[in-house]
Amino acid sequence: MSPEEEIVTILKDAGVTLAATLPCDKVKTLHYLIAREFRHVPLTREEEGVGIAAGAALAGEKPVMLVQTSGIGNMINAMASLTKLYELPLFLLISWRGVYKEAIVAQKPMGMFVPRLLKALEIEFVEIKEREDIPKIAEAASIAFEESRVAAALLSPKVWEGSDFKMPSWESEDRTVARRAFEGEEATAKHTRFEILAAIREELRGKVVVSNLGVPSKELYHVLHQRSNFYMLGSMGMATPIGLGIALGTQKEVVVIDGDGSLLMNPGSLATVSEMAPRNLIILAIDNAAYGSTGNQPTATKRSADLAMLARAMGIENVSRVSTPGEVVEAMHRGEAPRFVHVVTKPGNARVSNIPLSPEDIKANVMGFLRDED
């Protein structure tokens, strides 16, 4: 058995059900095997994977991420303010660059810093420096899944020396890219986000609703509190990845209430939504052209960026641009999911109180709802 196959066997024994990955040359054979053996989510950015894994964990999945050391820097805030805050399981397989026969000088700093970063974040990890160390991976996976924590295994390139695993070569194929402009009608802002949410509350009732952090979550709690609402308390840019992760692990309908500032921070998540194409996901992109929770500073959508065109360019076919509650409801039912509904709104926040729930309360409510029978 090759070291790659040995690791995959350990992951299967640990109950891993979903793998989110970004490629690295040093683990390309392991990446190929993991993508073949598990339900696979190819990522556009490591931070996005943290959100998807969090959503998947809420839906009862056991997620693993395969990344390289440089990607850990992109994940720190999301792991701290999402995975660790809500006490969700996440197992990391990290290609440990910069420590063994490294030819790329830019890989060396993070190779040195990552063990210290993991310690600073109180993430338990094992160092897999030789092939003989591979069984330690099972210990780290057990910590992640049995204790609902983040745990990691650092994989030295030395582990693969002498491996006889043969990966098929990737064959290039001819591809044609067609220009597809967004042909939706223009929309003029008529309502605030709160007015839209209040008017569509019955469409949200009984569904899993992932709400963007800050004021949007407070407004949702005031309009329609239900145990199926996942209120984000941090991790800006993670609403759509979390919703995608949940949608991949349940048959229930999932609605994401995202915002322009959040989507502009992590636009690649829309490409991943298109790639995975879950038939139970609706994204309500509430676009008030402002960072509403921090003082209504303008975002790029005020003058230039177009979220509907962005979603279409990322490959999402069912895209609507709307501005009234009736149009929102109609778009939520039009065509096949995933649906992307660009909701053009006025800036402004409702004066609502803070959410009186802890991260543990929010997680327990959502996981309890997802465990219930349809």
Please indicate, yes or no, whether residues 143 and 234 belong to a single structural domain of this protein: no
Model confidence at 220: pLDDT above 80: yes
Contact assessment for residue 287 and residue 345, using Cβ atoms and an 8 Å cutoff = yes
In a domain, 182, yes or no: no
Model confidence at 374: pLDDT above 50: no
Q: 225-272, pLDDT tens digit by residue?
A: 999 999 999 998 999 999 999 999 999 999 999 999 999 999 999 999
Alpha-carbon distance 351 to 370, whole Å? Answer: 31
In a domain, 63, yes or no: yes
Q: Find, among 314, 304, 207, the residue nearest to 251 by Cα.
A: 207
Helix or strand run (H / E) with residue 285: strand 281-287
pLDDT of residue 19: 98
Please indicate, yes or no, whether residues 43 and 126 belong to a single structural domain of this protein: yes
| Identity at 173, one-letter amino acid code | E
Model confidence at 373: pLDDT above 70: no
Axis-axis angle for helices 46-58, 239-248 (nearest 10): 50
- Final residue in a domain of this structure, among 140, 160, 180: 160
Q: 5-46, pLDDT tens digit by residue?
A: 999 999 999 999 999 999 898 999 999 999 999 999 999 999
Please indicate, yes or no, whether residues 125 and 211 belong to a single structural domain of this protein: no
In a domain, 123, yes or no: yes
Which pLDDT band holds residue 166 (cuts at 50, 70, 90)?
Answer: confident
In a domain, 186, yes or no: no
Model confidence at 114: pLDDT above 90: yes
Which pLDDT band holds residue 187 (cuts at 50, 70, 90)?
Answer: confident
φ, ψ of residue 331 in degrees (nearest 5): -65, -30
Please indicate, yes or no, whether residues 126 and 18 belong to a single structural domain of this protein: yes
Which residues on neighbouring strands pair with residue 210, listed in sequence order? Answer: 230, 256
In a domain, 331, yes or no: yes
Please state the domain count of the chain: 2
Which pLDDT band holds residue 182 (cuts at 50, 70, 90)?
Answer: low
* Cβ atoms within 10 Å of 60's Cβ, excluding its own: 13
Look up the CATH number of the domain holding residue 307.
3.40.50.970
Contact assessment for residue 101 and residue 157, using Cβ atoms and an 8 Å cutoff = yes
Q: 138-152, pLDDT tens digit by residue?
A: 999 999 999 999 999
Give me the chain's average pLDDT, please. 93
pLDDT of residue 372: 87
Please indicate, yes or no, whether residues 126 and 271 belong to a single structural domain of this protein: no
Largest CA distance in the chain: 65
Q: Find, among 215, 210, 217, 212, the residue nearest to 244 by Cα.
A: 210
Please indicate, yes or no, whether residues 102 and 213 belong to a single structural domain of this protein: no
Pairing of strands 90-95, 318-322: unpaired
Please indicate, yes or no, whether residues 149 and 206 belong to a single structural domain of this protein: no
pLDDT of residue 183: 59
| Identity at 61, one-letter amino acid code | E
Axis-axis angle for helices 268-276, 239-248 (nearest 10): 10
Please indicate, yes or no, whether residues 211 and 301 belong to a single structural domain of this protein: yes
Model confidence at 1: pLDDT above 80: yes
User: Could you tell me which residues come within 8 angstroms of residue 172 by beta carbon, excluding any fewer than 6 positions away?
Assistant: none
- Final residue in a domain of this structure, among 142, 160, 178: 160
- Final residue in a domain of this structure, among 110, 135, 160: 160
Contact assessment for residue 248 and residue 276, using Cβ atoms and an 8 Å cutoff = yes
Model confidence at 179: pLDDT above 90: no
Please indicate, yes or no, whether residues 203 and 326 belong to a single structural domain of this protein: yes
Please indicate, yes or no, whether residues 201 and 145 belong to a single structural domain of this protein: no
Which pLDDT band holds residue 3 (cuts at 50, 70, 90)?
Answer: very high
Alpha-carbon distance 254 to 157, whole Å? Answer: 40
Contact assessment for residue 302 and residue 290, using Cβ atoms and an 8 Å cutoff = yes
In a domain, 140, yes or no: yes
Please indicate, yes or no, whether residues 105 and 206 belong to a single structural domain of this protein: no
| Identity at 24, one-letter amino acid code | C
**CA-CA distances (angstroms) from residue 352 to 133, 157, 193, 358?**
53, 53, 13, 17
Model confidence at 77: pLDDT above 90: yes
Q: Find, among 261, 302, 298, 290, the residue nearest to 348 by Cα.
A: 290
| Identity at 175, one-letter amino acid code | R
Examine residue 338 and say whether the peptide bond preceding it is cis (omega within 30 degrees of 0): yes
In a domain, 176, yes or no: no
Please indicate, yes or no, whether residues 148 and 210 belong to a single structural domain of this protein: no
In a domain, 73, yes or no: yes
What range defines the domain where residue 156 resides? 3-160
